Amino acid sequence: MTTISSPDARAPLAAELPTIRAAYPALGRRVHGKPLVYLDNAATTHKPLAVLDAEREQAMWHNANVHRGVHLLSQEATERYEAARSTVRSFLGAAEDREIVFVRGTTEALNLATATLAATRLGPGRDVLLTGMEHHSNIVPWQLACQASGASLRVVPLLDDGSLDMEAFDRLLDGGVAVMAIVHTSNALGTINPVQAMCAKAREVGAISVVDGAQAVPHGPVNVRELGADLFAFSGHKVYGPTGIGALYGRAELLESLPPWQGGGDMIRTVTFEGSTWAEPPARFEAGTPNITGAVGLAAALDHVTGLGMDRIAAHEADLLTYATGRLLADIPGINLIGTAPAKAGVISFTLDGIHPHDIGTVLDHEGIAIRTGHHCAQPVMDRYGVPATARASFGLYTTREEVDALVVGLRRVQEMLG
């Protein structure tokens, strides 16, 4: 992950956790009579009051459609929606607001990227390079695009520890690759890929780089210009914001060169029955009424994490990862960690000898502990490591060491009951 040049010098986040957690009402819940231990942050994060309040204020006082009305409420809604775009731009380190397209989330962003690049870049001998650890949302759209265009998929294999095989990457990336589409941080393994180096190599061979940043932006500082990504996607709900909103960053010249994706209001310059002309980006890619309330909520979420300090969040989660990995290996016999790459985010995928991951999840749920079990929308990863599914604990900025301890106790209980 890209590190910013001036690391946050404030005290570790852990010291502020009681105050921080108080801002997340859901964390105070009880589940099956036990205090909630929420370790499913890679699936979605909880929302702080600042986000809920911002959404409520927008809907209650400034509700109007954007870019369309001369009346005051519409102007207010437009200003707030566009201010949210600036917040996303600054959060990602992009150069200009017009490089930020609001979308429903990572999945929609990747479908937008795929559809527009398929139309302009792909074809026989102009292939797509993916990695073996992609989320289905960065596989299936490319498969459809390849079927339609005659391009082929090339896939970078994974090493046993969950890292990319970078020698294979170097062999697979040649002038026949038109698009490199890679996950920044794997939701199934936690691996953080060397995205900056990969984007530089893609550029050398003239390939467009598309980065799935869904699991990168919640866990540490990201700067799209330092990364050198041409397109970069993320979802609001994984970074403490609302569902149904996310963003696609696109380098200005690239976005300008791409055709529209969906047609409708707001994305046109002129319309006649003989033909239409398109608005400039980002409007070209935002057909119809956008998720205005969601965009305002997303901006509040980004202000929240920026205020806490992305460096501090990264350091806190790194500490949790080390602590949790040590405790699990020491105290849970028969645990197998799937994904032990040296560069790793706060995501621990594992199996327990003789116990199906779904049963682990069910018993833990009765202890108030929420983890994810299944293939994590990354079936090729499961195939690679020869497991049908894994159990996954994933950390967030509000996760405590005590919650890791509760997971260890919960897993012992799973083994007592089912082992």
Rounded to the nearest angstrom, the gap between the alpha carbon of residue 200 and the centroid of all alpha carbons in its chain is 21
Letter string b/e over residues 240-267, b meaning 16 or more CB atoms within 10 A of that residue's CB: bbbbbbbbbbbbeebbeebebbeeeebb
Catalytic residue among 52, 377, 387, 408: 377
Q: 198: which residues sit within 8 A by CB, 6+ positions away?
A: 169, 180, 182, 209
Amino acid at site 237: H
Residue 107 binding ligand PLP, by CB under 6 A: yes
Residue placing its CB nearer to ligand PLP in the complex, 42 or 324: 42
Cα dihedral value 113, 90, 50, 292, nearest 10: -50
Nearer to ligand PLP among residue 58 and residue 107 (C-beta): 107
- 40 near ligand PLP, rule: CB under 6 A: no
Question: What's the closest the beta carbon of residue 116 comes to ligand PLP, in angstroms?
Answer: 17
394 binds ligand PLP (CB under 6 A): no
Strands 208-212 and 231-235: parallel
Contact map string, positions 341 to 380, toward ligand PLP, x by CB under 6 A: ------------------------------------x---
- Pick one of 58, 235, 399, 415: the residue that binds ligand PLP (CB under 6 A): 235
Going by their DSSP bridges, the two strands 208-212 and 153-156 should be labelled as unpaired
Stretch that binds ligand PLP, among 53-61, 105-113, 321-329, 333-341 (CB under 6 A): 105-113
Q: Is 183 in the site for ligand PLP (CB under 6 A)?
A: yes
Residue 105 makes contact with ligand PLP by CB under 6 A: yes
Residue 199 bears catalytic tag: no
Where are any strands of DSSP class E within 189-334? 208-212, 231-235, 246-250, 268-272, 275-278
Nearest alpha-carbon partner for 127 in 178, 198, 183, 201: 178
Q: Are 92 and 250 in contact (CB under 8 A)?
A: no
How many Å apart are CA 310 and CA 300, to the nearest integer?
15
Q: Which stretch binds ligand PLP (CB under 6 A): 51-59, 99-107, 171-179, 291-299?
A: 99-107
Task: Give the binding range for ligand PLP (CB under 6 A) out of 13-21, 24-32, 103-111, 381-389.
Answer: 103-111
Q: Take residue 168 and report the two structure tokens written for it.
A: 């294979």
User: Segment near ligand PLP (CB under 6 A), from 67-75, 208-216, 269-277, 295-303?
Assistant: 208-216
Angle between helices 140-149 and 106-120 (to 10 degrees): 20
State yes or no: residue 248 binds ligand PLP (CB under 6 A). no
E strand or H helix at 97, and its extent? none
Minimum separation from the CB atom of position 394 to ligand PLP (A): 9
Site size toward ligand PLP, by CB under 6 A: 13
Other C-beta atoms within 10 Å of 158: how many? 23
Residue of 185, 213, 230 lying closest to 344 (CA atoms): 185
Q: Does 103 bind ligand PLP (CB under 6 A)?
A: no
CB of 40 to ligand PLP, least distance (A): 11
> Which residue's CB is nearer to ligand PLP, number 62 or number 238?
238
Kindly list the catalytic residues.
Answer: 377
Binding site for ligand PLP (CB under 6 A): 42, 105-107, 135, 137, 183, 187, 212, 214-215, 235, 377
